[in-house]
Structure 1
Amino acid sequence: MGVIWLLIVGAAAGFIATRLMRVEADIVTTIVIGMVGALIGGLVLRTLLAVMGIGAGLVGAILGSLLLIWLWQFYTGRK
C-alpha cells in the first residue's frame, strides 16, 4: 500500500514540480515524472514519513520530482 500511495501522491507532485521548474511537458510525462520522483523521494525520506506523517510524503515526492526534472534537463539539454 505504501508504494501505491507514493504513486498517487507522485501524480500531484509531478504537476507541482513541473510548474516549479517551469517545464512544459504533456500530461503523461508529468505523471511519470511525479511517480518516479515520488518513489525516489519517498524511499529517501522514509524516516521522515514515519515521524511527520503524510506531509513528509508530499514533500519527499515533490523533492524527488524536482531532482528527476533537474537530471532530465541536465542530461537531455532541455530547458
Structure 2
Amino acid sequence: MGILWTLIIGAVAGWLGAQIFKGGSLGLIGNIIVGIIGGFIGYFLLGTLFGTAIIGQILTGAVGAIVLLAIINLLSGRRV
C-alpha cells in the first residue's frame, strides 16, 4: 500500500509542480517521476515544514518538483 500512496502523491505533486512552474505537463509517468524525485528534493530543502499529513507531503513534493523542473529547464536550455 505504501508504494501505491507514493505513486499517487508523486503524480499529484508532479502535476501541481508542472502547473505552478508553467512548464506544461510531462504526462502521467513523467509527473509521477518528477513528483517522487521532487518529494526527496523538497524534504531535503524543507524537512517537515508543511507537516507529515498527505497535504503536507503533496506540498513538499510540489515545491521539490518546481525546483527540479527549474533545474531541468536551466540545464536543457529549453522550457520543460
TM bracket, shorter-chain basis:
0.7 to 0.9
Against the structure 1 CA distance between its residues 30 and 47, is the aligned structure 2 distance closer, same or farther, given a 3 Å change threshold? closer
Distance 1:78 1:48 in 2: 31
Percent of residue pairs identical: 29
Deviation at 1:74, TM superposition (A): 0.6
Cα RMSD (Å): 2.4
Hey, which of these two has a bigger chunk of helix by percent?
1
Q: TM-score, normalised by structure 2?
A: 0.72
Moved over 4 A (4+): 4-7
* Aligned pairs for 1:1-79 within 5 A: 4=3, 5-24=5-24, 25-48=26-49, 52-54=51-53, 55-79=55-79
Gaps of 5+ in 2: none
The answer on whether the counterparts of 1:36 and 1:65 sit within 8 Å (CA) in structure 2 is yes
* TM-score under structure 1 length normalisation: 0.73
Where does structure 1 lack aligned partners over 5 or more consecutive residues? none
